[in-house]
Structure 1
Amino acid sequence: MDQCTRHPGGGKLQADLREVAAIPGCQLTVHAAAAGPVCRTDGHDRPPHLSPHERRWREGLAAATRYYAVYGDLACTNAYVHPDGFRLGMWLANKRRRSDWLSPEQRKALDDLNM
Protein backbone atom coordinates (compact mmCIF):
# COMPACT_ATOMS: atom_id res chain seq x y z
CA MET A 1 0.00 0.00 0.00
CA ASP A 2 1.32 3.48 -0.82
CA GLN A 3 2.48 5.84 1.86
CA CYS A 4 0.53 9.07 2.14
CA THR A 5 2.83 11.84 0.90
CA ARG A 6 0.75 14.51 2.61
CA HIS A 7 1.12 12.85 6.03
CA PRO A 8 4.46 11.00 6.27
CA GLY A 9 4.18 7.81 8.26
CA GLY A 10 0.41 7.62 7.81
CA GLY A 11 -0.48 4.45 5.95
CA LYS A 12 2.86 2.75 5.38
CA LEU A 13 1.75 -0.61 6.71
CA GLN A 14 -1.39 -2.52 5.87
CA ALA A 15 -1.56 -3.64 9.50
CA ASP A 16 -1.67 0.01 10.60
CA LEU A 17 -4.51 0.63 8.19
CA ARG A 18 -6.49 -2.31 9.57
CA GLU A 19 -6.06 -0.87 13.07
CA VAL A 20 -7.18 2.55 11.88
CA ALA A 21 -10.17 1.04 10.11
CA ALA A 22 -11.19 -0.57 13.40
CA ILE A 23 -11.62 2.87 15.03
CA PRO A 24 -15.37 3.52 15.39
CA GLY A 25 -16.61 6.02 12.82
CA CYS A 26 -13.46 5.81 10.74
CA GLN A 27 -13.50 5.18 7.01
CA LEU A 28 -10.33 4.87 4.98
CA THR A 29 -10.27 7.15 2.00
CA VAL A 30 -7.70 8.66 -0.37
CA HIS A 31 -6.44 12.23 -0.45
CA ALA A 32 -7.12 13.69 -3.88
CA ALA A 33 -3.78 15.52 -3.82
CA ALA A 34 -1.63 12.77 -2.35
CA ALA A 35 -3.33 9.58 -3.51
CA GLY A 36 -2.49 8.02 -0.16
CA PRO A 37 -4.67 6.38 2.50
CA VAL A 38 -5.89 8.46 5.43
CA CYS A 39 -8.56 8.24 8.11
CA ARG A 40 -11.80 10.04 7.42
CA THR A 41 -13.79 11.07 10.47
CA ASP A 42 -16.37 13.80 10.97
CA GLY A 43 -16.37 14.56 7.24
CA HIS A 44 -12.72 15.67 7.20
CA ASP A 45 -9.81 13.92 5.53
CA ARG A 46 -6.97 13.59 8.00
CA PRO A 47 -4.71 10.92 9.41
CA PRO A 48 -5.52 9.49 12.82
CA HIS A 49 -4.04 11.78 15.46
CA LEU A 50 -2.20 9.40 17.74
CA SER A 51 0.54 10.38 20.12
CA PRO A 52 3.87 8.61 19.58
CA HIS A 53 3.19 6.76 22.83
CA GLU A 54 -0.23 5.54 21.61
CA ARG A 55 1.16 4.57 18.20
CA ARG A 56 3.95 2.56 19.86
CA TRP A 57 1.42 0.93 22.22
CA ARG A 58 -0.70 -0.17 19.25
CA GLU A 59 2.33 -1.49 17.39
CA GLY A 60 3.41 -3.46 20.45
CA LEU A 61 -0.04 -4.85 21.16
CA ALA A 62 -0.44 -5.91 17.52
CA ALA A 63 2.95 -7.67 17.57
CA ALA A 64 2.12 -9.32 20.92
CA THR A 65 -1.24 -10.49 19.57
CA ARG A 66 0.41 -12.04 16.51
CA TYR A 67 3.05 -13.74 18.69
CA TYR A 68 0.36 -15.07 21.04
CA ALA A 69 -1.66 -16.42 18.10
CA VAL A 70 1.35 -18.44 16.93
CA TYR A 71 2.91 -19.58 20.23
CA GLY A 72 0.00 -19.42 22.71
CA ASP A 73 1.93 -17.33 25.24
CA LEU A 74 4.09 -14.22 25.56
CA ALA A 75 7.14 -16.01 26.94
CA CYS A 76 9.67 -14.66 24.47
CA THR A 77 13.18 -13.56 25.44
CA ASN A 78 14.01 -9.90 25.88
CA ALA A 79 16.10 -10.12 22.71
CA TYR A 80 13.22 -11.40 20.56
CA VAL A 81 12.57 -9.28 17.46
CA HIS A 82 9.32 -9.85 15.56
CA PRO A 83 9.77 -10.66 11.84
CA ASP A 84 8.44 -7.18 10.99
CA GLY A 85 11.36 -5.65 12.95
CA PHE A 86 9.43 -4.73 16.10
CA ARG A 87 11.48 -5.40 19.27
CA LEU A 88 8.69 -7.34 20.98
CA GLY A 89 10.83 -8.93 23.69
CA MET A 90 12.07 -5.57 24.95
CA TRP A 91 8.59 -4.02 24.64
CA LEU A 92 7.07 -6.81 26.75
CA ALA A 93 9.88 -6.57 29.32
CA ASN A 94 9.23 -2.84 29.66
CA LYS A 95 5.50 -3.39 30.09
CA ARG A 96 6.13 -5.99 32.78
CA ARG A 97 8.63 -3.78 34.60
CA ARG A 98 6.42 -0.68 34.41
CA SER A 99 3.03 -2.33 34.76
CA ASP A 100 1.91 0.32 37.24
CA TRP A 101 2.11 2.87 34.40
CA LEU A 102 -0.44 0.99 32.27
CA SER A 103 -4.00 2.25 31.98
CA PRO A 104 -6.79 -0.16 32.97
CA GLU A 105 -7.57 -0.69 29.26
CA GLN A 106 -3.95 -1.50 28.45
CA ARG A 107 -3.70 -3.83 31.43
CA LYS A 108 -6.87 -5.65 30.29
CA ALA A 109 -5.57 -5.97 26.72
CA LEU A 110 -2.40 -7.64 28.00
CA ASP A 111 -4.34 -9.76 30.50
CA ASP A 112 -6.42 -11.04 27.57
CA LEU A 113 -3.13 -12.35 26.12
CA ASN A 114 -2.32 -14.07 29.45
CA MET A 115 0.59 -11.77 30.22
Structure 2
Amino acid sequence: MTERPMSADEAETAARMFKALGDPVRLRLFSAVASHEGGEACVCDISDVGVSQPTVSHHLKKLKEAGLLTSERRGTWVYYRVEPAVLAAMGRLLVGSSAGALT
Protein backbone atom coordinates (compact mmCIF):
# COMPACT_ATOMS: atom_id res chain seq x y z
CA MET A 1 0.00 0.00 0.00
CA THR A 2 2.91 2.38 0.56
CA GLU A 3 4.93 1.55 -2.55
CA ARG A 4 2.23 2.09 -5.17
CA PRO A 5 -1.49 2.69 -5.40
CA MET A 6 -3.65 -0.43 -5.30
CA SER A 7 -5.41 -1.57 -8.44
CA ALA A 8 -9.20 -1.77 -8.38
CA ASP A 9 -9.04 -5.59 -8.08
CA GLU A 10 -6.53 -5.43 -5.22
CA ALA A 11 -8.68 -2.87 -3.40
CA GLU A 12 -11.79 -5.07 -3.82
CA THR A 13 -9.98 -8.09 -2.41
CA ALA A 14 -8.49 -6.15 0.50
CA ALA A 15 -11.84 -4.51 1.30
CA ARG A 16 -13.58 -7.92 1.46
CA MET A 17 -10.84 -9.21 3.78
CA PHE A 18 -10.93 -6.19 6.09
CA LYS A 19 -14.72 -6.14 6.15
CA ALA A 20 -14.80 -9.81 7.14
CA LEU A 21 -12.17 -9.27 9.84
CA GLY A 22 -13.86 -6.07 11.07
CA ASP A 23 -16.21 -8.06 13.29
CA PRO A 24 -14.76 -9.14 16.67
CA VAL A 25 -16.37 -12.60 16.53
CA ARG A 26 -15.02 -13.21 13.02
CA LEU A 27 -11.59 -12.01 14.05
CA ARG A 28 -11.61 -14.40 17.02
CA LEU A 29 -12.73 -17.30 14.82
CA PHE A 30 -10.08 -16.51 12.20
CA SER A 31 -7.43 -16.33 14.93
CA ALA A 32 -8.63 -19.60 16.46
CA VAL A 33 -8.30 -21.39 13.13
CA ALA A 34 -4.98 -19.76 12.19
CA SER A 35 -3.38 -20.53 15.54
CA HIS A 36 -4.79 -24.05 15.98
CA GLU A 37 -2.33 -26.92 15.99
CA GLY A 38 -1.80 -28.27 12.50
CA GLY A 39 -3.20 -25.14 10.86
CA GLU A 40 -6.78 -26.35 10.83
CA ALA A 41 -9.57 -26.60 13.35
CA CYS A 42 -12.80 -28.49 13.70
CA VAL A 43 -15.80 -26.26 14.19
CA CYS A 44 -16.32 -28.16 17.45
CA ASP A 45 -12.97 -26.80 18.71
CA ILE A 46 -13.53 -23.13 17.89
CA SER A 47 -17.22 -22.48 18.49
CA ASP A 48 -16.83 -21.15 22.06
CA VAL A 49 -16.74 -17.44 21.20
CA GLY A 50 -19.77 -16.31 23.18
CA VAL A 51 -22.41 -16.59 20.47
CA SER A 52 -24.84 -19.31 19.39
CA GLN A 53 -23.83 -22.11 17.01
CA PRO A 54 -25.95 -20.69 14.14
CA THR A 55 -24.17 -17.35 14.58
CA VAL A 56 -20.77 -19.08 14.54
CA SER A 57 -21.77 -20.80 11.29
CA HIS A 58 -22.86 -17.45 9.81
CA HIS A 59 -19.53 -15.83 10.69
CA LEU A 60 -17.50 -18.77 9.35
CA LYS A 61 -19.47 -18.54 6.10
CA LYS A 62 -18.59 -14.84 5.81
CA LEU A 63 -14.89 -15.64 6.37
CA LYS A 64 -15.08 -18.28 3.63
CA GLU A 65 -16.84 -15.89 1.24
CA ALA A 66 -14.05 -13.36 1.81
CA GLY A 67 -11.51 -16.02 0.83
CA LEU A 68 -9.95 -16.12 4.29
CA LEU A 69 -10.91 -19.72 5.16
CA THR A 70 -11.41 -22.98 3.35
CA SER A 71 -13.38 -25.89 4.75
CA GLU A 72 -13.76 -29.62 4.41
CA ARG A 73 -16.51 -31.83 5.81
CA ARG A 74 -15.31 -34.99 7.54
CA GLY A 75 -18.21 -37.08 8.73
CA THR A 76 -20.41 -34.86 10.85
CA TRP A 77 -17.78 -32.16 11.46
CA VAL A 78 -16.48 -29.35 9.30
CA TYR A 79 -12.77 -28.50 9.49
CA TYR A 80 -11.55 -25.00 8.66
CA ARG A 81 -8.13 -23.97 7.42
CA VAL A 82 -6.37 -20.69 6.72
CA GLU A 83 -4.31 -21.21 3.60
CA PRO A 84 -0.68 -20.10 4.01
CA ALA A 85 -1.03 -17.95 0.88
CA VAL A 86 -3.79 -15.94 2.59
CA LEU A 87 -1.58 -15.17 5.59
CA ALA A 88 1.33 -14.30 3.30
CA ALA A 89 -0.85 -11.96 1.22
CA MET A 90 -2.17 -10.27 4.37
CA GLY A 91 1.36 -9.79 5.61
CA ARG A 92 2.52 -8.31 2.32
CA LEU A 93 -0.40 -5.92 2.28
CA LEU A 94 0.21 -4.74 5.83
CA VAL A 95 3.99 -4.38 5.61
CA GLY A 96 4.05 -2.92 2.11
CA SER A 97 6.37 -5.49 0.57
CA SER A 98 7.05 -5.17 -3.14
CA ALA A 99 6.34 -8.88 -3.46
CA GLY A 100 2.72 -8.11 -4.35
CA ALA A 101 -0.64 -7.57 -2.78
CA LEU A 102 -3.65 -9.82 -2.38
CA THR A 103 -3.59 -11.81 -5.57
TM-score (structure 2 length as normaliser): 0.28
TM-score (structure 1 length as normaliser): 0.26
Decide which structure has greater helix share: 2
Largest Rg, 1 or 2: 1
